[in-house]
Amino acid sequence: MAMSIWEYANPKKFMETSSIALPWAAGGALLCLIVGLVWGFFFTPDDYKQGSTVKIIYLHVPSALMAINAWLMMLAASLIWLVRRHHVSALAAKAAGPVGLTFTLVALVTGAVWGQPMWGTWWAWDPRLTSFLILALFYLGYIALWQAVENPDTAADLTSVLCIVGSVFAVLSRYAVNFWNQGLHQGASLSLDKEENVADVFYFPLLVCIGGFVLLFLTLVLLRTRTEIRVRRVQALLARERMA
Amino acid sequence: MIALLLRDLRLALRAGGGFGLGLAFFLLVAVLVPLGVGPEPATLAKIAPGILWVGALLACLLSLDRIFALDHEDGSLDLLATAPIPLEGVVAVKACAHWIVTGLPLTLVSPLLGLLMNLPAEGYPLLLASLAIGTPALSVIGTFGAALTVGLKRGGLLLSLLVLPLYVPTLVFGAEAVRRGALGMDVATPFLLLGGITAGVAALLPFASAAAVRINLR
Amino acid sequence: MIPDLGKYAVSVLTAYGASIALLAGLVALSLWRGARVRRMLREVEQRQGRSDG
């Protein structure tokens, strides 16, 4: 029998596979995060210019990266739901929403805390920070729409449409914000992205942390999708009970 | 479709509310902001473009939930969905009607409010032009938000939460055009981008709105 | 044990504290809701199993 990726769209198959994958993902996430953060926090030198604040990079860059990737995953899952009507896909998108929002908040908080000593202010309307604030609003709207619509299939359809339209507008906003800030101050010198010129001492623990965040995202999405599938099952059973 | 447009316009005018309310709100913003910020002409002139744009945006937001609500309640939305004209067309007409009763009047009174806000003289034509180009996008995007929330009992607040992030590009380019103009800078770029957004949104978003209405009527 | 963070100690510790608190909150919430739903499902399944038989 030919195995295809769509096998995993069957809720039962998904529950079986995810119950095996979940402990591994969770363990890996924990391991990577502990190793990466301890390595970064205790065993890396200070940057000659930024002092010890460079240690914030181990939280800031991975969370920002995953905040965007979570949205992309939601977009992919929404498209799959609209095209192939696999319930697991819609539920995975639903499960990813709050996770993405939390990552966005972590990126914002660490960015603000980093900005305080570097720029002398908690909040600068830096294009990147502003874009993340807008991204957080997109996440909020998406989650709110899921909660507001009662019928699960209608909710999945509507949030999918919102996710697709929202993606286009999120990209537009990113460019709009870039454009808007040019007149105020030179954005590039305030840029938080040090990936290009980051030295090896910082680079390897950062990689481990990024791996940790990816696994953490995977763990949480699997866990939350499993919960959502169970919620559906409870609802279906209760409906049957009422019918009987 | 023209009959539908006329019907929507008549309904909006007769039901009162929608038509005057947005304008009154816009006026209130222009009165309240100087009261809050202080009367220095220099400060007001500096923030005028942004405040007027945000005011127009919020005024537009006020009447969004009416776009589909009345038709949904009395069942005429179901009729429209099965009517011979495509639902995409219906949605576009509704957005157009919304613009005529909110966006257009807002644009026309904006110079008056610019006066209250000490907008520099160079700003007036730009303010008029940017609102005239930008407010259609606000109506079309708002129609999409209204389409998403059409079946919900208390969709008002959710509607704002969904629509406001989508308004960001329009707001940025619209206000930036006026601001740059008032400073004597080149305004072609923001105007082109604003026009691009309005055109793109008007061409594509009715499809998404119609899809959302269909999902909600299912 | 804690490395010398210099004058930025407060910033670095705040960033770590706040981030870990946010992430731990999300994990705790997910686990809690997962456990609650699992319990609910078991209850409903048991009840229906009895009523069927």
Concatenated DSSP letters of A138-162: HHHHHHHHHHH--SHHHHHHHHHHH
Tell me the average pLDDT across B122-132: 89
Taking each helix axis from N to C end, the angle separating A11-43 and A87-119, rounded to the nearest 10 degrees, works out to: 10
Tell me the average pLDDT across A127-140: 90
Q: Which residues of A touch B180 (CB under 8 A)?
A: 183
pLDDT single digits (tens) C7-22: 777 888 888 999 999 9
- Which chain B residues in 93-152 lie under 8 Å from chain A, judged by CB atoms? 144, 148-149, 151-152
Q: What is the pLDDT of residue C53?
A: 40
Between A3 and B176, the higher pLDDT residue: B176
Q: How confident is the model at residue A22 (pLDDT cuts 50, 70, 90)?
A: very high
pLDDT single digits (tens) B179-190: 888 777 788 888
Q: What is the pLDDT of residue B205?
A: 94
Q: Is the Cβ pair A53, C41 closer than 8 Å?
A: no
Does the pLDDT of residue A3 top 90, yes or no? no
For C14, nearest residue in chain A (alpha carbons): A113
Percent of the residues in chain A that have a pLDDT greater than 90, as a whole number: 49
Nearest to C15 among A51, A110, A241 (CB): A110
Torsion angle, CA of A58/A134/B114/B16, rounded to 10 degrees? -160
For B161, nearest residue in chain A (alpha carbons): A141
Q: Which residues of C touch A94 (CB under 8 A)?
A: none
Tell me the average pLDDT across A81-105: 94
Tell me the average pLDDT across B85-106: 89
Does chain C reach chain B with at least 3 CB pairs under 8 Å? no
Among B38-42, B116-120, B139-143, the range of highest mean pLDDT: B139-143
pLDDT single digits (tens) C23-48: 999 999 999 999 999 999 999 888 87
Q: How confident is the model at residue A35 (pLDDT cuts 50, 70, 90)?
A: very high
- Which chain A residues in 190-229 lie under 8 Å from chain C, judged by CB atoms? 216, 220, 223-224, 226-227
Residue B83 sits in which domain range? Answer: 2-217
Interface check for B203 against chain A (CB to CB < 8 A): the answer is no
Q: Is the Cβ pair B168, A177 closer than 8 Å?
A: yes
Q: Mean pLDDT in chain A?
A: 85
Q: CA-to-CA distance for A201 and B160, rounded, in angstroms?
A: 46
Does the pLDDT of residue A2 top 50, yes or no? no
Q: CA-to-CA distance for A160 and A80, rounded, in angstroms?
A: 9
Is-contact A138 A166, C-beta < 8 A? yes
Burial C24-35 (b: 16+ CB within 10 A, else e): eebbeebeebbe
Interface check for C33 against chain A (CB to CB < 8 A): the answer is yes
Interface check for A149 against chain B (CB to CB < 8 A): the answer is yes
Q: Mean pLDDT in chain B?
A: 86
Distance from the B145 Cα atom to the nearest Cα atom in chain A, whole angstroms: 9
| Cα dihedral A159, B162, A183, A61 sign | negative
For A50, nearest residue in chain C (alpha carbons): C8
Between B53 and B77, the higher pLDDT residue: B53
Does the pLDDT of residue B207 top 90, yes or no? yes
Q: Which residues of C touch A45 (CB under 8 A)?
A: none
Q: Is the Cβ pair A145, B218 closer than 8 Å?
A: no
- State the chains in contact with A (3 or more Cβ–Cβ pairs under 8 Å): B, C
Does the pLDDT of residue A211 top 80, yes or no? yes
Percent of the residues in chain A that have a pLDDT greater than 70, as a whole number: 87
Give B153-166 as a DSSP string: TT-HHHHHHHHHHH
Does the pLDDT of residue A186 top 50, yes or no? no
Q: How many domains does chain B have?
A: 1
Q: CA-to-CA distance for A77 and A100, rounded, in angstroms?
A: 14
> ipTM more than 0.90?
no
pLDDT single digits (tens) A134-175: 999 999 999 999 999 988 899 999 999 999 999 999 999 888
Q: What is the pLDDT of residue A5?
A: 59
Q: Give the Å distances, CA to CA, from A153 to A85, A95, C16.
A: 10, 15, 39
Torsion angle, CA of B184/B178/B24/B73, rounded to 10 degrees? 170
Interface check for A234 against chain B (CB to CB < 8 A): the answer is no
Q: What is the pLDDT of residue C2?
A: 60
Does the pLDDT of residue A191 top 70, yes or no? no
Q: What is the pLDDT of residue A184?
A: 40
Q: What is the pLDDT of residue A183?
A: 42
Tell me the average pLDDT across B35-62: 88
